[in-house]
Amino acid sequence: MAYPVIILGFFTGSLILSSCEKKDEDEPQVEPPIVTAEAGSDIQTEINQQVSLDGSGSSTSVGSLTYFWELISSPDQSTAAITDATSAVASFTPDVDGEYNIRLNVLSDTVSRSDNITVTAIASGPIVLSCSDINEEMTLENKFDGVDYYVPCMIQVNAGLIIEPGVTIEFAQEAGFEIQDYDDWEGYISAVGTAQDSIRFTGEIKSEGAWNQILMNSSDLRNTMKYCIVEYAGNSDGSEAAIHLDDAKLELQNSLIQGNSSYGMFVDNRSNISGFANNTFTENMSYPLHIAANKVAQLDGQGSSYTGNTSGVEEYWDEIYVFSNSIYERGYITGQETHVWNDPGVPFFVNELIYVGETDEGSLRIMPGCEVSFGQNFGFWVDEYNASLQITGTADNKVILRGRYGQGSWNGIYLNTNNVENSIEHAVITDGGQEIVGHWFDNPANVNLGYSGGNIRLSLNNVALNNSGGCAIAEGGGDINLSLNNVTYSGNAGNDYCN
């Protein structure tokens, strides 16, 4: 009886296993949801305008979606962030012009998808520059039809400031740029426009003195301004030059300096304006150019223009003002190379005593057509280190040296060297002899020669010595080698020659 029972139990178990396997095969399989991420189309907007990020076009075939927006990349200096980043519809406000790459991530059950969108932000008006120092290289691009950048204050530039053609920069009152290369700073300005697309530095108010200046305290060789317009600077009180060089270097070419409340440009005796060419200074309310005597040789003669400058009360300032700006930084003409003054088309107004030599060897040559007027008590002082003076007019284009207030209104020329190049040709020297030059002279004169114990050489050819407050020529003693050819004298208060 036991045996049949065992067979039945085995058979019964087999039936049960067979039934379970059949049930698993009949159970339906669950498919994963179909998920689509849709961030929308790319967007173009203006900076500081809120943008809606709409991911509601995303879908899932089963269940619901979870959303997450993320900012993948943004322009430098941007601090923008996404608001409601876990909602189907988020928002975002670009704060700097440029491209913002944004990604939408959606999740349903275990399935995730993503889609990217690009938001391009452009500025709608002038970009306001920060008042913080510029410590990293900055490039200003031509972004708008009108004003591109607004400067609200005086900004110190300690790195490269590169300005592209066509850019217009507008300055608030007392605002400007200070280019600095002190210590570890490497500040410079490279503003290179073109004849078709000049670079404009202008005031918010279109009137003389509406902003401060471009102050150059950098001798970096990259300092360049070409095809630029600098206008309405100088401060409201006319206290500043539009471009001010203090121990600085600047190559200024093909530029217009106009409508400023003071000098168009100031150049001190430690600065370098090599390459200066084809510039126009006009409608400024003081002298177009204020320059140290030892930098006059870097001008380009009549290649540049200095006319039309006036204070607005029928007082014209169409002269180049030669003054080193300090009694401690006088006009020394020194060095192995001859300083050549070419005719700029307007007079020079020398308001300091110009030393040729004195502290080192030096040579000055004044070219045909130059007209030089002197302030009271000033003149040329040629002394020591075998310094030389050459005044080289022509019959048709004389050199004129004169005072500003008639007879005896400047000191004249003092010469005390034996250089064979000392010569005055085709010149008119008038109004000198204001004061006795040195304790060894008994008489003031237009031309003062030597002192006791000195050796002096000078030739005068086709020279007119007129209207002196003393003598035409006076000597202070010494061994004088003086050659006179066709020298005329007129209206002098003293004798033609005094010794």
CA 71 to each of CA 50, 54, 83, 84: distance values in angstroms, whole numbers, following the listed order: 15, 14, 11, 13
> Mind listing the pLDDT tens digit for each residue in 385-405?
999 999 999 999 999 999 999
Give the pLDDT of residue 438.
Answer: 65
Cβ atoms within 10 Å of 271's Cβ, excluding its own = 22
Q: How far apart are CA 437 and CA 403, in angstroms?
A: 16
**pLDDT exceeds cutoff 60 at 492:** yes
> Mind listing the pLDDT tens digit for each residue in 401-450?
999 999 999 999 999 999 999 999 999 999 999 988 865 677 899 999 98
**pLDDT exceeds cutoff 60 at 190:** yes
Nearest CA among 215, 280, 231, 232 for reference residue 252: 280
> Are 55 and 104 within 8 A, CB to CB?
yes
Confidence of residue 183 (pLDDT cuts 50, 70, 90): confident
Q: Name the least confident of 21-30, 125-134, 349-358, 377-386.
A: 21-30
> Are 219 and 181 within 8 A, CB to CB?
yes
Nearest CA among 359, 345, 352 for reference residue 268: 352
**pLDDT exceeds cutoff 80 at 3:** no
Intra-chain end-to-end CA distance of the chain, in Å? 169
User: What value does the mean pLDDT of the chain take?
Assistant: 91
Token digits of residue 405: 């207030």
Q: How far apart are CA 115 and CA 62, in angstroms?
A: 20
Length of the chain: 499
Q: How far apart are CA 150 and CA 142, in angstroms?
A: 13
> Are 417 and 451 within 8 A, CB to CB?
no
> Mind listing the pLDDT tens digit for each residue in 239-249?
899 999 999 99
Confidence of residue 464 (pLDDT cuts 50, 70, 90): very high
The rounded percent of the chain whose pLDDT value lies above 70 is 92
Q: Name the least confident of 5-14, 74-83, 226-235.
A: 5-14
CA 3 to each of CA 10, 11, 15: distance values in angstroms, whole numbers, following the listed order: 11, 13, 19
Q: State pTM to two decimals.
A: 0.80
**Core vs surface per residue 29-56: b (16+ CB within 10 A) or e:** eeeebebebbbbeebebebeeebebbbe
> Secondary structure of 212-235 in the HEC alphabet?
CCEEEECCCCCCEEECEEEECCCC
Dihedral angle over CA of 56, 58, 64, 65, nearest 10: -90
Q: How far apart are CA 167 and CA 147, in angstroms?
A: 8
Asked whether the CA dihedral 171, 230, 318, 356 is positive or negative, the reply is: positive
CA 169 to each of CA 144, 164, 260, 311: distance values in angstroms, whole numbers, following the listed order: 11, 11, 16, 26
Residue type for position 334: T
> Are 232 and 210 within 8 A, CB to CB?
yes
Q: How far apart are CA 66 and CA 109, in angstroms?
A: 9
Give the pLDDT of residue 11.
Answer: 33
Give the pLDDT of residue 10.
Answer: 36
**pLDDT exceeds cutoff 80 at 26:** no
- For the chain, the maximum distance between any two Cα atoms, rounded to a whole number of angstroms, is 171
